[in-house]
Amino acid sequence: MDMQYTEKCKIYFIGAGPGDPELLTVKAYKILSASGCVFYAGSLINKELLKIPSSDCIFYDMSGMCFEEIAEKIEMMYDAGTITSVLHAGDSSLYSSISEQAALLEIKQANYEIIPGVTAAFAACASNKSTLTLPDVSQTVIFCRAAGRTGKLPDGQDIKSLASHKATMAIYLSFGLIDSVVSDLLESYDENTYCLIAKDVSLKSEILIECKLKDVLNIAKAKSIKNMAVLLVGNALAGKYSIDHKSKLYDENFFHTFRKAKKSR
C-alpha cells in the first residue's frame, strides 16, 4: 500500500457506506487494509468489511461498549502507534457518533482524518435509478429524522415543519415512528406523492419499494420495516423514466464557458 494514505499515530474515521464493500472509496479500502485495529458497530456494519484488514488485526465491536470504553481503547491504540480505523455506517457526517469521538481526540491533540462514505439515500437512488432533484420539480433535499429516544429535535426541525417546504425529503431512523411521520407529511404533501422505502441497500437483503405516500404506513407494517431504513419522499424521484424535465445545462440554446449556443430555429 502507498503510505501516502496512512500514518502511524493517527485515527481514521471511515464512512463504510451502505454495506457493499465495493462501495467503499479506494482510499477507505487502502486504509482499512493497512489497519492494525478496527472499531465498528456490529449492529450496523456488514461483516464482509471486516475481511479487508489483515488476519492479525484487532477488532472492537462498539455496539456492546459505552463511550468511555470506546474512548479508552481508541486512546490506547493511538498511543501504541497502531493504524486504527473507526468504521461508521454510511457517511460519518450524517447521524453518526463521530463528533463526540473526534472531540476526545481534539482534547488530546491527537491526529485524525475523516474519510467520507456513501450514505443510504444516495445508494438507494442509485439502486432505484432515481434522482433526488429534478428541474422544475425539486432542487432542494432535506435530510432529517423524527424525534426519538435520542432527544428532542431543535425548534423548526420536526418532520411537520420541514415538510411544509415540499422539497425532496430523506427521512432516516424513523420507521419506528412511521405512523406519526406519515401523518405529519400528509399535512403538506399530497397523498399521491411519490415515495421510496429503502432498507439494506446494496446488500443481498436489499428492499426497495416504490409507492405513494398514502401507502407507506401499510407497506411498512406488511413488510415489518421497523428500523435502519430510509424513507425518500418527493416527486423528483418519479422522474427516472421521464424526458419531460430536461436539464437546461445541455439544451442546445444554453451557452456557457465551454459551449456556444445554437441559434433557435
Higher pLDDT, 78 or 8: 78
Q: In what helix (H) or strand (E) does residue 120 lie, and over which residues does it extend? A: helix 120-128
pLDDT for 263: 61
Q: Which helix (H) or strand (E) holds 111?
A: none
CATH 3.30.950.10 domain span(s) along the chain: 120-239
User: Exposure string (b/e) for 1-35, b if CB count within 10 Å is 16 or more?
Assistant: eeeebbeeebbbbbbbbbbbbebbeebbbbbbbbb
Residues of the chain with CATH 3.40.1010.10: 3-115
For 177-207, give one letter per residue: b (16+ CB within 10 A) or e: bbeebbebbbebbeeebbbbbbbbbbeeebe
| CATH 3.40.1010.10 at 3-115, yes or no | yes
Tally of helices (H runs) and strands (E runs) in the chain? 7, 10
Range with the poorest average pLDDT among 20-24, 56-60, 150-154, 258-262: 258-262
pLDDT at 10 (0 to 100): 87
Please answer whether residues 10 and 83 qualify as being in contact, where contact means their C-beta atoms are separated by less than 8 angstroms: yes
Give the whole-angstrom CA distance, residue 200 versus residue 208: 9
Residue 256 C-beta-side C-alpha neighbours within 13 Å:
7
Angle at CA of residue 123, ends 117 and 128, nearest 5°: 170
CA distances for 115 relative to 89, 133, 206, 221, 262, angstroms: 12, 25, 25, 36, 43
| Amino acid 46: pLDDT | 95
pTM of the model: 0.87
127 has a pLDDT exceeding 70: yes
- The predicted pLDDT at position 242 comes to 60
pLDDT top residue among 130 and 249: 130
What are the grid coordinates assigned to 125, written together?
437512488
CATH ID of 120-239, from 3.40.50.10490, 1.10.150.110, 3.30.950.10, 1.10.580.10: 3.30.950.10
Q: What is the pLDDT of residue 1?
A: 45
Nearest CA to 118 out of 228, 201, 30, 34 is that of 201
pLDDT one-digit tens code per residue, 222-237: 999 988 899 999 999 9
pLDDT at 239: 85
Residue 104 pLDDT class (50, 70, 90 cuts): confident
Q: In the chain, what percentage of residues exceed pLDDT 90? A: 73
pLDDT digits (tens, 9 = 90+) for 160-219: 999 999 999 999 999 999 999 999 999 999 999 999 999 999 999 999 999 999 999 999
Whether residue 255 is predicted with pLDDT greater than 80 in this model: the reply is: no
Q: Which residues pair with 95 in a beta bridge?
A: none
Q: Is the pLDDT of residue 3 over 60?
A: no
pLDDT over 60 (residue 6): no
DSSP 8-state class, residue 153: P
Single-letter amino acid code for the residue at 154:
P
For residue 197, the model assigns a pLDDT of: 98
Q: Give the least confident one: 71-75, 124-128, 244-248.
A: 244-248
For the cut 90, the answer to whether the pLDDT of residue 220 exceeds it is: yes
